């Protein structure tokens, strides 16, 4: 009887060890799978951060503003809070020198970004070039009615 109990307990111990080994290896595969997903998500996050930095770049904002017809202020002023006086800022740019674009530092990464109000297929290939000003005739006037908010106040149409 002692021999049967000993052999049965050995089989139970071996079965328990086998099941624990299977559970640990399954956990290792799950960890490996989750680490691969984490790497993929980190790459996606890096790509989206890079795209956001391209859209947030000074060159892209300058191109978009010039496309919308905005020009830089030739004589910007600042307010001195201590005295309440107004003074001119040093190094003011002259908008006549750069044709209204003033994108003096070009960025090759923003050449594929479509301009505001255009479709990606209709964007110009030279939008990242500071020497060629964007065409102002591409902006169509809007004739839509102002939408009404729930409380009845009209909202202005803006670009």
**Proportion of the chain above pLDDT 90, given as a percent:** 33
Whether residue 72 sits in one domain with residue 49: no
- Summarised one tens digit per residue, pLDDT across range 145-155 is 545 445 555 55
C-alpha gyration radius of the chain: 32
Cα–Cα distance measured from residue 50 to residue 85, given in angstroms and rounded to the nearest whole number: 41
**Position 108 pLDDT exceeds 70:** yes
Burial (CB count <10 Å: 0-12, 13-18, 19+), residue 27: exposed
pLDDT value for 131: 44
Task: Judge if 31 and 69 occupy the same domain.
Answer: no
**In a shared domain, residues 119 and 66:** yes
For 1-52, how does the pLDDT look when each residue is reduced to its tens digit (9 = 90+)? 999 999 999 999 999 999 999 999 999 999 999 999 999 999 999 999 999 9
Q: Measured at the alpha carbon of residue 37, what is the angle toward residues 53 and 22, in degrees to the nearest 5?
A: 165
Backbone angles phi, psi at 3, to 5 degrees: -65, -40
* 69 and 120 housed in the same domain: yes
Higher per-residue pLDDT: 87 or 103 = 87
Residues pairing with 77 in the sheet: 88
Q: Are residues 39 and 10 in the same domain?
A: yes
């Amino acid at each position: 009887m002692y021999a049967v109990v000993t052999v049965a307990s050995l089989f139970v111990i071996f079965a328990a060890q086998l099941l624990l080994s299977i559970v640990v290896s399954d956990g290792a595969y799950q960890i490996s799978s989750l680490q691969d997903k984490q790497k993929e998500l980190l790459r996606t996050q890096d790509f989206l951060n890079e795209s956001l930095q391209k859209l947030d770049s000074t060159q892209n904002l300058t191109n978009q503003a010039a496309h919308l017809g905005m020009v830089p202020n030739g004589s910007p002023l600042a307010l001195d809070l201590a005295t309440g006086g107004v003074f001119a800022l040093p190094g003011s740019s002259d908008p006549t020198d750069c044709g209204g674009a003033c994108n003096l530092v070009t960025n090759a990464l923003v050449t594929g970004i479509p301009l505001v109000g255009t479709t990606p297929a209709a964007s110009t290939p030279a939008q990242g070039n500071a020497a060629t000003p964007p065409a102002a005739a591409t902006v169509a006037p809007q004739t839509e009615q102002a939408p009404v908010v729930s409380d009845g106040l009209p909202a202005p149409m803006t670009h």
